[in-house]
Amino acid sequence: MKNILSTIIALFFVFNITQAEEKIDIDKQLIGIVGAVSGTAKTNTRELKAGDKIYLNETIYAGIDSGTQILLLDQSTFTIGSDSEVVMDTFIYNPATNDGKIVANVKKGSLKIISGLISKKNPDSLTVNVPEGTLGSRGTEFQTIVSNQKTDTLLIGPGKNNTLGLRPGAVLVGNNLGQTLLSNPYSVASMVKGNAPGKAKQITKNQLKKFKKRMKVARLTKLDGATKEERKATRKKIRQELKAQGFDKEEIKILIKENIKKDEEKRIVLLTTNEEEVSDIAQTENIVEEKVIETEDKIVVEKKDKSKDKKAVKKKDKKKNKKAVKKKDKKKNKKAVKKKDKKKNKKAVKKKSKTKKKKAVKKKGKTKKKKVVKKKVKKKKVIKKKAKKITKKKIAKKKKKAKNKRKRKK
C-alpha cells in the first residue's frame, strides 16, 4: 500500500518483461523484481541489488540488520526483514485474468506481505508456509515473525468498515492441530511447535514494537521511493533486454511510451488510493496504539489491584493459617493431655486394682488363717469338753462303784 514509486517501477518493468516472454522461452521463471535493498541481501548464487530479477524457487537471504523488498508480477509486495530466509515455492499468474496462486515459505526471520492482483481476484490464493503450520491470506496486509519454534502473525488490515470500500482482510493461522482466524486489524496469534494456534488477541504496545523493529531496516532504506537515476537505470536495462530479444528501436519506443502512459494512469489511481489508505492506516495505528496504551494502563491497574488483593488474601490466609495452627495445636495438646490423663488413669487404676487385689489376697489369707485357727481352737475346746465329760463320767462311775462297795460292806 505504501510503496507507490517502487510499485510503478515494478509495473513498468513487469509489463515489458511479460511482453518479451510472449515471444521467447526462458530457462528460469521470472516472478518479480528487487525494489530496494538495505545491508546485505542475496540468493544462493548472487548478491541482490535494486532492479535485480527474482526467479521461482530462489531462496532470498537478508542478513542481520538488513532487509529487502520484492515486487511481484501481480503487484504483491514482499518485504523481508532482518536475519531472514524466504523461498518462493509457487508463482502462477495470468495477467489477462489475474488468476493465479502464490506459495511462499518463511524458514526464519520476518516477512511482511501486501497482497496484489491475484489475491484481489481470489483472496484464498496466497499461502505462506512456516515451520509451525500455514498462513492463509485473504486479500490483506499482514506480517509474520518466525523464531525458535514459534511463529507470531499480525493482521494489519484493511478492517471490516474501512473508508476505502476494500474487501476486509483476514489471515487463517493453522496447522494439523487447529485453526485461528485473524479478522480484526492489529490482532495477533501465535503458533508454537507441537501445539494448536493460540487465540486471536489484540496486539499490545510491546508486541507492536517487536513487529515494527523487524521492519525498521526496511523502512530506513526508503523502499517506497526511487531516484531518477534508478528509474533511468531500470529503463536502460529494459531497453537492453528488449534489444537482446530481437525488438527494434521503434518497437521499444512504442512499448516504453505505452507503458509510461499506463503507469502514469495507474500511478494517479495508486496515489489517490494510497493517500487515503495511508491516512486510514495511520488513523487505525493511532487508534490501536491508544487502545493498546489504555489496555496496558488497565492491565497495570488490574495487576496492582490483583497484587493488593493477593497481599490481602495472603494476610488473611496467614491469619487463618495461624488460627488454624493454633486450633490444631490446642486440639493436639488437648488430645495429648487426654492421652496422658488416660494413661495416668489407666496406670492408677491398674495400681489400685493391684493394691486391691493384694489387699484382698492378704485379707483372704488372713481370714483363712483366722478361720483355720478358730477351727483348731474350736476343735481343741470340743476335745477338751469331751475329755472333761469323759473324766466326769469316769469319776461318776468310780463314785458309784465306791458307793456300791460301801453299801455291800454294810
- 108 touches 146 (CB < 8 A): yes
User: Count of domains in the chain?
Assistant: 1
**320 within domain boundaries:** no
- 91 touches 74 (CB < 8 A): no
**112 within domain boundaries:** yes
**202 within domain boundaries:** yes
- 40 touches 176 (CB < 8 A): no
Give the burial string for 224-237 (b: 16+ CB within 10 Å, else e): bebeeebeeebbeb
**343 within domain boundaries:** no
- 58 touches 44 (CB < 8 A): yes
Q: What pTM was computed for the model? A: 0.51
Handedness of CA 178, 118, 115, 27 (dihedral sign): positive
**389 within domain boundaries:** no
- Segment-wise mean pLDDT, segments of 10 residues, the chain, 410 residues: 41 44 53 89 92 93 91 90 93 90 94 88 89 88 90 83 63 93 90 92 85 63 50 60 54 55 49 44 50 55 69 79 80 81 80 80 78 80 81 82 79
**155 within domain boundaries:** yes
> pLDDT at position 320, please?
80
- 77 touches 115 (CB < 8 A): no
> pLDDT at position 127, please?
93
**283 within domain boundaries:** yes
> pLDDT at position 270, please?
43
- Residues 6 or more apart whose CB falls under 8 angstroms from that of 257 comprise none
> pLDDT at position 17, please?
43
Residue that has been written with the C-alpha cell 512499448 in this structure: 255
> pLDDT at position 283, please?
52
Cα-based torsion angle of the residue sequence 49, 114, 173, 213 in order, rounded to the nearest 10 degrees:
60
Specify the CATH number for the domain of residue 54.
2.60.120.1440
Range of 94's domain?
4-305
**135 within domain boundaries:** yes
